[in-house]
A and B are shown apart, each in its own frame.
Chain A
Amino acid sequence: QVQLLESGGGVVQPGRSLTLSCVASGFTFGSYGMHWVRQAPGKGLEWVAVISYDGDNRYYADSVKGRFTISRDDSRKTLYLHMNSLRAEDTAVYSCAKDPGIVGATHFDYWGQGTLVTVSS
């Protein structure tokens, strides 16, 4: 079965960097686009970024553009989110989600449980 396991969260000071990882299993990782989605405490879901199956296309929410970088290592079946210049408003549970690989699809068919990032001095 499909599993997505995030790691790398923790407490980090404003302005510092952090890298999150998401290890995938149960599907052919290199054939699917992958997303990061976050949820601030008590708030709604916010889409963060997507990377295409081949890594050639990456798109970011305006709130993280220029600060976050999504990447993937298909040999390790791992998705990454490199976060720089972190702000208090980046505090959230970060989850990876699998794209279904259907042209024009809008849904995310599998989600991880998430890893908590707290930005605080």
Chain B
Amino acid sequence: SSELTQDPTVSVALGQTVKITCQGDSLRYFYASWYQQKPGQAPVVVLSDKNNRPSGIPDRFSGSSSGSAASLTITGAQAEDEADYYCASRDSSGHYRMFGGGTKLTVL
């Protein structure tokens, strides 16, 4: 399969925990990476391969994977976490990259 599927919208109460999921057959073979994009800004990687957090990303962001699914978890969501989140990975051949359709996170 050459698709990554995300829920279009997710909401979370301030301070609560939210999980954003990404599904695709290629995730059985390759890790997902995760990007946060705020309006008018370039995407920022919040989780790189193997669920590593780049420098400067708060530790409330974490990741997991199982089978054909990957998840981004925000533990104790903050108002500034309201953004669009995209997963990305490779297709099953490994040569091509792809993004999920994105999840709009609303912090209530």
Contact = CB atoms under 8 A, between A and B. Distances in A.
Interface of A: 35, 37, 44-47, 50, 57, 59, 61, 95, 100, 102, 104-109, 111-114
Please provide the 10 A-B residue pairs with the shortest distance between their CB atoms, ordered closest to farther: A107-B33, A47-B97, A44-B102, A107-B48, A45-B99, A111-B42, A106-B89, A59-B95, A106-B33, A105-B49
Contacts of B37: 45
B99 A47 contact: yes
Contacts, number: 63
Contacts of B94: 104
Contacts of B54: 109
Contacts of B43: 45, 108, 111
B90 A114 contact: no
Contact of B88 (A57, A59, A102, A108): A108
Interface residues of B, number: 27
A102 B54 CA distance: 15
B42 A106 contact: no
A44 B86 contact: yes
B96 A106 contact: no
A112 B44 CA distance: 10
18 contacts: A35-B97, A44-B84, A44-B99, A44-B101, A45-B88, A45-B99, A47-B97, A95-B42, A104-B30, A104-B90, A105-B33, A105-B48, A106-B30, A106-B31, A106-B32, A109-B45, A112-B42, A114-B42
